[in-house]
Structure 1
Amino acid sequence: MAGTAIALFLNNTGAKAQGCVAIRGTGGLCTMADHPDSLGSEGAWLFNSNSRYYRSYKHFVGREEQKQRIELGTNVINHTYAQDLTLTRVFNNRWSVSLDVPVISNSRSSLYEHGGKERRTTHSFGVGDITIKAFAWLLDPHKSTKANIQVGLGLKLPTGSYTYTDYFYNTGANGARTLGPVDQSIQLGDGGTGITADVNAFYNFSHNFGLYGTFYYLMSPREENGVSSARGSAPSAKAVANGSDIMSVPDQLSARIGANYMAGKWNFSAGARYECLTAKDLVGGSNGFRRPGFIISAEPGITYRLHKFSVYTFVPVALVRNRTQSVPDKITTQLTGIYTQGDAAFADYAVNIGFSFKL
């Protein structure tokens, strides 16, 4: 059926958006093999495996790319791979519950974190933040085959390490290496218990063509997680003054909109994707070190679907990258009278490859 209903979207686990803006949301999605009522009314299980990879290396301040960073070799390069494993229990054609477990492997190379003379690499690997969600279709899928809306509410648990450490070189006394927490962008978790909200919707014009839309928000009440941002060294006076010496636990959101066209067992989609790590949180304080910003991407996708099994690929390509002003940036601006805005590294695109099947 066209406009395949999006059953689950962006389980909030350990992957990031395309860069140092550490958005912890999977890039892929888990789709029903067909319209949700085809799963049967009782006891269906769905399994989804999504692999996401990106390489961030282009620095932005606001929307302006800092091209000289690449020319001078001073840019940060992040490689991020996340494998999300999601198991969903469909109780009936209205209600379902999902459990998402991410396994993450990150690396980050830079000059400035290692004394500025030699490019070195830090790593992190392990299980990220696990998410449990409950979903409900607002309309009866048996009757509302042309359009429907699904809502979800979940809990993101702080299971991923947010204190992961590695060695930083030429930073200690006499140039010795120092063991300290890795950068926020490659930590496996954020250290906060969060509340997630999802809205997924579709509208079918015909058997072959339809529209989809999704919205996701993670609310993180915890302001800071207590981990130093100084990578094992003493924080600078500037970091202490503006409150960026401790890592923040930020809110984040994602939204997608697009169209599907079905041709036999193939489903082709084209849409737009928005990912944002907010500068301020809905609940709780917004201080601490974070790199707020957003990415707007074009997102083509292809899904091959059988009765109980589907394989998909989605590749969001960045159109707009914006590293926005953080709360510590604003504090520094007030203290010095000089406008301050930090930078962040972004990727050109991300690759999502996965499969799902009905057990």
Structure 2
Amino acid sequence: MKRYILLSAIIFGILLLSQKSIAQGCVAIRQFSGIGNAVGQLNVQTQGDWNISTNYRYFRSFRHFSGTEEQPQRVEQGTEVINWSHGVDFNISYSFTDRLFGTVSLPFAYNERSSLYEHGRQSRHLSYSGGLADMRIGAGYWLLSGEKATKGNLALGLGFKLPTGNYNAQSTFYNVGPNGTSEIRPVDQSIQLGDGGFGITLESQGIKQFKSALFGYYNAFYLFNPRNTNGTRTSRSRQSEAIMSVPDQYALRAGLFYSIKQIHGLGFSLGGRLEGVPIRDVIGESGGFRRPGYVISVEPGVSYMLGNVTATLNVPVALVRNRTRSLTDIADSTPDNYRHGDAAFADYLINFGLVWRIPKKIPEVFNSL
């Protein structure tokens, strides 16, 4: 029983920590996967272990916020912007040693965006994007191994984000050309498939056993995007926002997981989640157009393990949505004209994942449980 509970919590962690962010509406919090995909058995892995996982994410954003203040009149007047987003990641990881592991993540996305203002403010139309997003590769290292790791462990990771996604995806926009004709233009930043930058990711994650069936987990992530702008035009009126920015991104998640002793393989989780886009990048310039902001969510989840396959469903529900002021908002504000842009956010996300663990051998520590 102890062995089953521990394995259930461990494999649950693989899926929980590999289900990352996806653009939360108009704030372009892009989907990513970090070292959470690469854990052979999360806090106990064995050299030669493989993990193959896939994660699906969906949301619909439509509630507009300026700062933390909602603008309900947008929905009432029918002027809200609506994003529908679907993302799928395919991830493969391998344990080089009992501590060192590597991972490769191949993400795909399909997005639709409905708006009035992007189509001459005369009628509502859709724009689209779909295809390969920005690929990630990385490695991580667990500080503990063997029996010492059975009660808790901590991993550090380094990765790279490659600009494989189209950051100049285009669609048809109506009523915007001469005499009200249509034109082919780049889609909004929030549904671009990539950001056009080579990124560096730093990540840390951990798990701690408090009782026989109760575990704590956390995952912290930061994406450094040194590139300033990517050359994709925005069709916005302000010159400082004419080209899209290549922004940093961050996320923090923590919570508890409980394995049900009476039902082998079943577990529940409850945690908190913070993710966002900063106003300024840590490395390089921060010019161009971006919608900075963050989302704080409560994240319930359920998982079930059958053999070496585990399924997990998490539904983060937004508690706080904040579209912070951009550098352009700050620069263009005067005592008589305070500027603060808005953005549309989702009420919740749906994250569903499957992981197939292919062990080289069962660690000896489990045989003694």
Q: Root-mean-square deviation (CA), in Å?
A: 1.9
- Cα deviation digits, residues 310-346 of structure 1 (max 9, x gap): 0110100000000000111111115x75221100000
Larger helix fraction of residues: 2
Amino acid at match of 2:158: L
- Per the TM alignment, residue 141 of structure 1 is displaced from its structure 2 partner at its CA by 4.1
Between 1-10 and 280-289, the greater mean CA deviation after superposition? 1-10
- Per the TM alignment, residue 105 of structure 1 is displaced from its structure 2 partner at its CA by 0.3
Please state whether the residue corresponding to 1:142 is helix, strand or coil: helix
Which of 78, 81, 85 is equivalent to 1:73?
A: 78
Alignment map for 1:238-257 (pairs within 5 Å): 239-240=238-239, 243-257=240-254
Which of 31, 35, 41 is equivalent to 1:25?
A: 31
- Per the TM alignment, residue 144 of structure 1 is displaced from its structure 2 partner at its CA by 2.4
Please state whether the residue corresponding to 2:212 is helix, strand or coil: coil
Please state whether the residue corresponding to 1:161 is helix, strand or coil: coil
Distance 2:79 2:67 in 1: 19
Structure 2 residue 273 is the aligned partner of structure 1 residue 273? yes
Q: Normalising by the residue count of structure 2, what TM-score does the alignment of the two structures yield?
A: 0.89
Amino acid at match of 1:338: N
Per the alignment, residue 350 of structure 2 pairs with 351
Aligned 8 A contact 1:133 1:153 in 2: yes
Q: What percent identity do the matched residue pairs reach?
A: 43
Amino acid at match of 1:357: W
Alignment map for 1:177-196 (pairs within 5 Å): 177-196=182-201
Alignment map for 1:19-98 (pairs within 5 Å): 19-26=25-32, 30=37, 34=41, 36-37=43-44, 39=45, 41-98=46-103
Please state whether the residue corresponding to 1:4 is helix, strand or coil: helix
Per the alignment, residue 361 of structure 2 pairs with none
The gaps in structure 1 that reach 5 residues or longer are none
- Per the TM alignment, residue 31 of structure 1 is displaced from its structure 2 partner at its CA by 8.1
Per the alignment, residue 127 of structure 1 pairs with 132
Between 213-222 and 20-29, the greater mean CA deviation after superposition? 20-29
- Per the TM alignment, residue 93 of structure 1 is displaced from its structure 2 partner at its CA by 1.8
- Per the TM alignment, residue 27 of structure 1 is displaced from its structure 2 partner at its CA by 8.4
Structure 1 residues 31 and 269, CA, compared in 2 at 3 Å: closer, same or farther?
Answer: farther
- Per the TM alignment, residue 118 of structure 1 is displaced from its structure 2 partner at its CA by 0.6
Per the alignment, residue 216 of structure 1 pairs with 221
Amino acid at match of 1:342: G
Alignment map for 1:143-182 (pairs within 5 Å): 143-182=148-187
Aligned 8 A contact 1:18 1:348 in 2: no
Which of 250, 258, 275 is equivalent to 1:261?
A: 258
Aligned 8 A contact 1:10 1:216 in 2: no
Aligned 8 A contact 2:40 2:50 in 1: no
Amino acid at match of 1:279: I
Per the alignment, residue 117 of structure 2 pairs with 112
Distance 1:324 1:10 in 2: 27
Distance 1:165 1:17 in 2: 18
- Per the TM alignment, residue 176 of structure 1 is displaced from its structure 2 partner at its CA by 0.3
Structure 1 residues 326 and 254, CA, compared in 2 at 3 Å: closer, same or farther?
Answer: same
Structure 1 residues 356 and 10, CA, compared in 2 at 3 Å: closer, same or farther?
Answer: closer
Per the alignment, residue 282 of structure 2 pairs with 282
Distance 1:311 1:31 in 2: 16
- Per the TM alignment, residue 7 of structure 1 is displaced from its structure 2 partner at its CA by 4.5
Amino acid at match of 1:288: G
Per the alignment, residue 325 of structure 1 pairs with 325
Aligned 8 A contact 1:195 1:220 in 2: yes
Amino acid at match of 1:285: E
- Cα deviation digits, residues 210-239 of structure 1 (max 9, x gap): 111110000000011111111xxxx52xx1
Distance 2:42 2:161 in 1: 27
Distance 1:106 1:326 in 2: 24
Aligned 8 A contact 1:10 1:25 in 2: no
Q: Normalising by the residue count of structure 1, what TM-score does the alignment of the two structures yield?
A: 0.92
Per the alignment, residue 299 of structure 1 pairs with 299
- Per the TM alignment, residue 139 of structure 1 is displaced from its structure 2 partner at its CA by 1.7
- Per the TM alignment, residue 11 of structure 1 is displaced from its structure 2 partner at its CA by 7.6
- Cα deviation digits, residues 165-204 of structure 1 (max 9, x gap): 1111000000000111000000000000000011001111
Please state whether the residue corresponding to 2:312 is helix, strand or coil: strand
Aligned 8 A contact 2:40 2:94 in 1: no
Distance 2:301 2:33 in 1: 12
Distance 2:162 2:201 in 1: 11
Structure 1 residues 27 and 46, CA, compared in 2 at 3 Å: closer, same or farther?
Answer: closer
The gaps in structure 2 that reach 5 residues or longer are 359-369
- Per the TM alignment, residue 142 of structure 1 is displaced from its structure 2 partner at its CA by 3.0
- Cα deviation digits, residues 251-305 of structure 1 (max 9, x gap): 0100001001011311210000001111111001111100000000000011101
Distance 1:254 1:141 in 2: 29
Aligned 8 A contact 2:80 2:115 in 1: yes
- Cα deviation digits, residues 142-175 of structure 1 (max 9, x gap): 3221121011100000000000011110000000
Per the alignment, residue 367 of structure 2 pairs with none
- Per the TM alignment, residue 32 of structure 1 is displaced from its structure 2 partner at its CA by 5.3
Structure 1 stretches of 4+ with a deviation exceeding 4 A read 26-36
